[in-house]
């Protein structure tokens, strides 16, 4: 079992080695390109190469080279940030370059000889990241003291869960100042209220139904139902006569089904005519100051419709 585990571990190491090697080769190639650009004083492009190298394989050397390139092009605030970051990342297995102390001394001398001001940038919460308008868009740092040149500067602070805060400042040479940005918590998104079914109380009813129009319609409909009922009644009577004297058994059965339909239709039409005529006469004879009202309530997927008359 132990031999099997050792074999599997060895295979994993061998399988992973080409990836590590590729990353190391890519990072070394980027560093070499950055050094060449820096020798040609193309510090901006050199810095981009050192950043790419650090993304491929994080090393203290890459951060230190970014700080040194900024120092060479006189971007003292950025040199300050990166050289301090370089110093903070030094470890036993990732030592600082031999020239780091000399670069830090050069930075201190240039800050002393330049008309800059110490700006103490404080942010609430302290975990926020800060960006400066004079820095590249991908460069952020923790709240700290920075030495800035004279003129306007825009400071932006952001943190997860907080709204971004921005402040405009004007730096005057050798006039130190403190700046505080307080981030407000992001407004929580409140879901819209769930709108349930609308309930219409029974005592809040629509206006009364106009008697004249409805009574006329009902009476006309009732008269039409009477005509239909009479026609069906006559047909049923004729069919019943045929049933009384059938020509054959098949004819009897055929007339029997027809008779049942005609009789049921006639009864239904009489009932409909009676209801329509009765309601129409009631509306026609009811005084106009008495209203017929219809109310409805809908809730929980069910509904109730009521018809009432006021006296």
Domain boundaries, the chain: 16-113, 115-186, 211-309
Considering the entire predicted model, what is its pTM? 0.56
3-state secondary structure of 154: strand
CATH class, domain 16-113, is: mainly alpha
Give the helix ranges, DSSP H, for 89-210: 100-113
Residues in Cβ contact with 207 at an 8 Å cutoff, skipping those fewer than 6 apart: 291
Using CA of residue 86, residue 87, residue 92, residue 98, what is the dihedral sign?
positive
Does domain 115-186 bear CATH number 2.60.40.10? no
Cβ contact 191:278 at 8 Å: no
pLDDT tens-digit series, residues 118-168: 999 999 999 999 999 999 999 999 999 999 999 999 999 999 999 999 999
Q: Is 115-186 the same fold as 16-113?
A: no
Region 52-78: mean pLDDT is 96
Residue 311, CB half-sphere, CA atoms under 13 Å: how many? 0
Region 101-115: mean pLDDT is 96
Classify 107 in phi/psi space as left (phi over 0), alpha (psi -120 to 50) or beta: alpha
Cβ contact 242:255 at 8 Å: yes
pLDDT tens-digit series, residues 243-285: 666 666 666 666 667 777 777 877 887 887 788 787 777 767 7
Q: Bridge-partner residues for 147, per DSSP?
A: 118
């Amino acid at each position: 079992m132990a031999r099997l585990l050792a074999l599997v571990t060895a295979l994993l190491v061998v399988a992973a080695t080409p990836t590590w090697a590729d990353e190391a080769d890519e990072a070394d190639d980027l560093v070499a390109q950055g050094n060449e650009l820096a020798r040609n004083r193309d510090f901006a492009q050199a810095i981009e190469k050192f950043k790419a190298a650090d993304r491929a394989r994080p090393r203290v050397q890459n951060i230190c080279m970014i700080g040194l390139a900024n120092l060479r092009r006189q971007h003292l605030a950025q040199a300050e940030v990166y050289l301090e970051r370089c110093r903070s990342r030094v470890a036993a297995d990732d030592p600082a370059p031999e020239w780091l102390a000399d670069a830090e001394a050069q930075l201190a001398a240039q800050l002393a000889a330049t008309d800059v001001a110490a700006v103490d940038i404080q942010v609430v919460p302290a975990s926020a990241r800060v960006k400066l308008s004079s820095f590249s868009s991908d460069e952020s740092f923790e709240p700290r003291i920075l030495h800035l040149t004279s003129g306007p500067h825009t400071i932006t602070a952001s943190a997860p869960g907080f709204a971004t805060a921005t402040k405009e400042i004007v730096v005057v040479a050798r006039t130190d100042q403190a700046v505080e940005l307080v981030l407000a918590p992001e407004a929580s998104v409140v879901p819209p209220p769930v709108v349930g079914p609308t309930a219409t109380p029974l005592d809040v009813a629509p206006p009364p139904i106009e008697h004249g129009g409805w009574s006329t319609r009902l009476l006309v409909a009732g008269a039409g139902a009477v005509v239909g009922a009479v026609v069906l009644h006559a047909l049923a009577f004729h069919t019943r006569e045929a049933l009384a004297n059938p020509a054959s058994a098949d004819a009897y059965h055929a007339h029997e089904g027809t008779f049942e339909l005609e009789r049921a239709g006639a009864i239904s039409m009489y009932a409909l005519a009676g209801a329509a005529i009765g309601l129409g006469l009631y509306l026609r004879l009811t005084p106009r100051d008495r209203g017929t009202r219809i109310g409805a309530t809908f809730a929980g997927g069910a509904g109730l419709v009521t018809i009432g008359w006021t006296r």
